[in-house]
A and B are shown apart, each in its own frame.
Chain A
Amino acid sequence: DAGITQSPRHKVTETGTPVTLRCHQTENHRYMYWYRQDPGHGLRLIHYSYGVKDTDKGEVSDGYSVSRSKTEDFLLTLESATSSQTSVYFCAISGANTGELFFGEGSRLTVL
């Protein structure tokens, strides 16, 4: 199994509060991704990173920011959480030249 750890695994917060989700990898892969999974929408890309301090937006990036100060860590921040951001968030890394992504176990976020 790819070494990907997400934290926290579960979080309940209130509208308007900031939230940070952390993804930690031990594989030293260059590319890291944040997806969200919602019923009826499948998995949608929020942001991705192609190296330390190098990030780019995905298809649903509004309301989210990311940072990558070290190869192994990719942080997803909701500056002011809204109920529409209630979701399960998955971090992923690219398998080196295999064309596939390896996913973490997910972080379930509930915004009340």
Chain B
Amino acid sequence: DQQVKQNSPSLSVQEGRISILNCDYTNSMFDYFLWYKKYPAEGPTFLISISSIKDKNEDGRFTVFLNKSAKHLSLHIVPSQPGDSAVYFCAASVGGGGSNYKLTFGKGTLLTVNP
């Protein structure tokens, strides 16, 4: 049973436009959510996170929105750039003790930003 779902395997947008990547989760115990970006032949890199006590977190061009009642989060990238082309993973965890953040990942969405 998949607890973190990214239902869009791929997304294509034009440079300068907004990219919106979506993620749904089923485990109501999740209280911390993250987005990772992955380029081919590299390890995933952390992008942005949000705690369940918030509904929005912004970092430069990246904003994550959390709708707890819908068990849904989204990542907005504005404006999109060709260098943003990568696989984006949504991840979630149940409040780890200390610094134990055992993450559950979605299957990923391949974002392609066209020049």
B102 contacts which of A29, A30, A45, A106 (Cβ < 8 Å)?
A45
Stretch among B14-22, B67-75, B77-85, B104-112 lining the A interface: B104-112
B99 contacts which of A40, A41, A94 (Cβ < 8 Å)?
A94
Please report the total number of B residues contacting A with Cβ < 8 Å: 26
- Tell me the dominant secondary structure on chain B's binding face: loop
B46 to chain A, nearest CB (A): 4
Query: Is A106 a contact of B34 with CB atoms below 8 Å?
Result: no
Q: How far is the CA of A96 from the CA of B34 in the complex (A)?
A: 16
Query: Is A100 a contact of B34 with CB atoms below 8 Å?
Result: yes
Q: Residue B43 at the A interface, CB < 8 A?
A: yes
Query: Is A40 a contact of B93 with CB atoms below 8 Å?
Result: no
Q: Which of the listed residues A59, A94, A105 has the most CB atoms from chain B within 10 Å of its own CB? A: A94
* Extra contacts besides A33-B102, A101-B46, A101-B101 (17): CB < 8 Å: A30-B98, A30-B99, A31-B99, A31-B100, A31-B101, A40-B107, A41-B107, A43-B44, A44-B105, A45-B104, A50-B100, A90-B44, A99-B32, A101-B103, A102-B46, A104-B43, A106-B41
